[in-house]
Amino acid sequence: MPPIIQTTGKFMIHCRFASLILVVIFLCTLVSLPQVQAGAMIQEGSTLKPADSVSTQELKGKPVEEKFNPGEMIMEHVVDNHEWHIARIGHFDLYIPLPVLLICEGQFHAFWSSKFHNETHSYLGFTISKQGSNKGKIVTVQQEMSGKGPNVYDFSITKTVLAIFLSSFFLILIFISVANRYRKEPNQAPHGLQNLLEPLILFIRDDVAKSSIGEKKYEKYLPYLLTIFFFILFNNLLGIIPIFPGGANVTGNIAVTGVMAFFTLIITTINGNRHYWIDIINTPGVPWWLKLPIPLMPIVEIIGIITKPFVLMVRLFANMTAGHIIILGFISIIFIFGQISSALGIGVGIPTLLFMIFMDLLELLVAVIQAYVFTLLSALYFGLATIEPQHH
């Protein structure tokens, strides 16, 4: 069997075990949800109706009186949410309700986010805070009114969490199908998805892992590097698609990028060799008065250990969020001028649409670059932690 196909095939087969774990988690999450209808819903004022029960007469509705709020629209698409907004049809909003899972005062509560769509915007004593430091979070009504109340531990399946489940599920299907193809046709030339994935896998292996970590140790870290590369890349690309299941700002969520950066930190710390820690505690080539009596250099080096994953976290989060905000800003310009005059909105819309197309193409480039940069820097940190001193 050719070495390239053998290497790629091994990675695909190993991915199956990780993929099956994700499938089990995904299915267990679905089974644990309350047994209610989970179809798309259309919101009319304070009431919520199933999409298939709304008549054509109701969809016409009354003209929207409130003015377009660009800041609210942009933040709604960028930040996380307890429901997935699909589209606005006249005076109606099309949502996908998501499960709310809460623990408060030792009791577990499970219901759908559509329960909040009523006159009081509350359910079972809980509400989504609209002000203060808890804005967007689920709190008790008492806490929302007075600022004091029991703590609410939120384990809900939010828009970002659902997007992660969906992207993981799609990746599982892709890699399992490719792995099966390698097992059935081990000696044949790659075709189909193999043609797309194999060059990317070999690129990460040869130009990222081997060059940064070394040929002797790179295989240990290759599964992790490939995982974060494809996870970031797939979610970056999926986030550019404006319609469901795309449009979620997964890699623009600092909690998601923070977890990935934390894994990089843990792997670097655990696998750091003796030479790595000696260089941190007793940096060679540095004057002794920078080490004693005040250990300035060790403090600087330890701070550097923390700032490296912090940079990983912020870079990916900031770049992806900024790209989404710019594109949504261009969309807002059309509606802002359209409120002044329909002709002005159409006139502004043409050049704005061209800028949006340009930004979308730029976002495609940024999506690939950010996945590559995160993977490359992680590999560099692993390489620095495991490098052996050269003896002359």
Give the number of other CB atoms < 10 A from CB of residue 234: 19
CA–CA separation, 248 vs 8, rounded Å?
Answer: 30
Distance from C-alpha of 96 to C-alpha of 118, rounded to nearest angstrom: 16
Question: Quick one: angle between helices 70-78 and 296-340, nearest 10?
Answer: 130
d(CA 307, CA 389): 24
Contact of 146 with 129, CB cutoff 8 Å: no
Residue 122 is inside which H or E element, if any?
Answer: strand 122-123
Structure tokens at 179: 């792995």
Contact 311, 380 (CB under 8 A): no
d(CA 8, CA 178): 10
Question: Tokens 């399946």 label which residue?
Answer: 157
pLDDT tens over the chain, length 392 residues: 444 444 555 555 445 444 444 444 444 433 333 333 333 344 444 333 333 333 334 434 444 456 777 777 777 778 888 888 787 776 777 888 889 999 988 889 898 888 888 888 888 888 888 877 778 888 888 888 877 878 888 888 998 999 999 999 999 899 888 888 888 877 777 777 888 888 899 999 989 999 889 888 888 899 999 999 999 999 999 888 878 887 788 998 899 999 999 999 999 999 888 877 877 777 777 777 777 777 777 788 888 888 989 999 999 999 988 888 888 888 888 888 887 877 887 888 888 888 888 888 888 899 999 999 999 999 999 988 887 766 54
Q: How far apart are CA 353 and CA 359, in angstroms?
A: 10
**Cβ atoms of 278 and 389 closer than 8 Å:** no
Sheet holding 122-123, edge to edge: 122-123, 126-128, 138-140
Are the beta carbons of 320 and 261 closer than 8 angstroms? no
* SS3 state of residue 49: strand
Q: Which residue has the tokens 């900024």?
A: 322
Q: Residue 391: helix, strand or coil by DSSP?
A: coil
User: What proportions of the chain, in percent to the nearest 5, are helix, strand and coil?
Assistant: 65, 10, 25
Phi, psi for 133 (deg, rounded to 5): -70, -20
Output the pLDDT for position 390: 64
CB atoms within 10 A of CB 136: 13
What is the C-alpha to C-alpha distance for residues 8 and 16, in angstroms, rounded to an integer?
Answer: 13
CA dist., res. 101 & res. 126, Å (int): 11
pLDDT for res 65? 52
Q: What are phi and psi of 146, to 5 degrees?
A: -110, -10
